[in-house]
């Protein structure tokens, strides 16, 4: 039980990687809050994991809206009295090449992937600072490290997540808060399933392990960074991408 007695908020926890992490964390003894915009999927996920005997709750949140984030933190603290782990996993894509990208596509991705991470971290770090401990895990992407065709907005936010991770590691380390990031490679969730089969096949050719990641591959990296085993890992961006060659 690597997270016994801990409370973890996982944003974007209703689907994909966040949901896999919710299950994994709860299996390791955590009380998990799946925090997501998608109420229907979130309620279903909560029911499914509870039916498996896991300690999981759902809170509806829009990470781009600071008031909504503050309510999420307050509700979590009312229910559990503590927040030990925050996984900033919620993210969206609105792909288009540079010349075709609309101002709306640009802004929507910034609001969720960049401002959302800032909002959640600022709100939760206040509580963690008071307690003198905590783990913050951000979600970057190989697109933020290498760039990716059609993802000006997304790559910009995911590169920014690396900058924020390292900055917060410097600011919050002395307060007992561990800050790291995971940069997933192409992982089989709804985000990738929208891509044409041909593009997915091409992507596999650029991965040393010749397969896409599974949500559990990323969830296991989150788990390591959430557990005491990573106590001296700080300001690190862990690429979990099957050995991608971009």
Contact status: 62 vs ligand NAI (CB under 6 A): yes
Q: What is the 3-state secondary structure (H, E, C) of 172-193?
A: HHHHCEEEEEEEECCECCHHHH
Query: Applying CB under 6 A, which of residues 3, 6, 10, 36 lies at the interface with ligand NAI?
Result: 36
Contact status: 217 vs ligand NAI (CB under 6 A): no
Region from 2-10, 32-40, 99-107, 200-208 binding ligand NAI, contact rule CB under 6 A: 32-40
**Least distance CB 175 / ligand NAI (angstroms):** 25
Cα torsion for 229, 231, 232, 236, to the nearest 10°?
A: 90
Of 27 and 38, which CB lies nearer to ligand NAI in the complex structure?
38
Site map (CB under 6 A) of ligand NAI, residues 168-197, x = contact:
----------------x-xx-xxxx-----
Catalytic residues: 154
Contact status: 49 vs ligand NAI (CB under 6 A): no
Of 131 and 211, which CB lies nearer to ligand NAI in the complex structure?
211
Give one DSSP letter per residue of the chain, joined into a string: -TTTT-EEEEETTTSHHHHHHHHHHHHTT-EEEEEES-HHHHHHHHHHHHHTT--EEEEE--TT-HHHHHHHHHHHHHHHS---EEEE-------B-GGG--HHHHHHHIIIIIIHHHHHHHHHHHHHHHHT-EEEEEE--HHHHH--TTBHHHHHHHHHHHHHHHHHHHHHGGGTEEEEEEEE-SBSSHHHHTS-HHHHHHHHHTBTTSSPBPHHHHHHHHHHHHSGGGTT--S-EEEESSSB--
**Least distance CB 2 / ligand NAI (angstroms):** 21
Size of the site for ligand NAI (CB under 6 A): 29
Pick out residues in 75-134 that bind ligand NAI (CB under 6 A). Answer: 89-92, 112, 116
Of 150 and 175, which CB lies nearer to ligand NAI in the complex structure?
150
Pick out residues in 141-170 that bind ligand NAI (CB under 6 A). Answer: 141
Region from 58-66, 79-87, 195-203, 227-235 binding ligand NAI, contact rule CB under 6 A: 58-66
Q: Which residues bind ligand NAI (CB under 6 A)?
A: 11-12, 14-18, 36-38, 61-64, 89-92, 112, 116, 139, 141, 184, 186-187, 189-192
């Amino acid at each position: 039980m690597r997270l016994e007695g801990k409370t973890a908020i996982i944003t974007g926890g209703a689907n994909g990687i966040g949901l896999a992490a919710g299950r994994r964390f709860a299996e390791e003894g955590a009380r998990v809050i799946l925090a997501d915009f998608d109420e229907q999927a979130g309620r279903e996920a909560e029911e499914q994991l509870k039916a498996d005997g896991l300690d999981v709750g759902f809170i509806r949140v829009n990470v781009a809206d600071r008031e909504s984030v503050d309510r999420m933190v307050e509700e979590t603290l009312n229910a559990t009295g503590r927040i030990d782990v925050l996984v900033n996993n919620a993210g969206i894509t609105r792909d288009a090449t540079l010349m075709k990208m609309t101002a709306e596509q640009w802004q929507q991705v910034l609001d969720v992937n960049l401002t959302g991470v800032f909002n959640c971290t600022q709100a939760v770090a206040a509580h963690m600072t008071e307690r003198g401990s905590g783990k913050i895990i951000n979600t970057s992407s190989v697109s933020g490290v290498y760039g990716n065709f059609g993802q000006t907005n997304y790559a910009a936010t995911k590169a920014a997540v690396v900058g924020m991770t390292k900055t917060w590691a410097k600011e919050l380390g002395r307060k007992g808060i561990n800050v790291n990031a995971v940069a997933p490679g192409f992982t089989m969730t709804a985000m990738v399933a929208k891509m044409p089969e041909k593009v997915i096949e091409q992507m596999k050719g650029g991965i040393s392990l010749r397969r896409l990641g599974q949500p559990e591959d990323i969830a296991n990296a989150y788990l390591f960074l959430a557990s005491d085993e990573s106590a001296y890992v700080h300001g690190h961006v862990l690429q979990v991408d099957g050995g991608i060659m971009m």
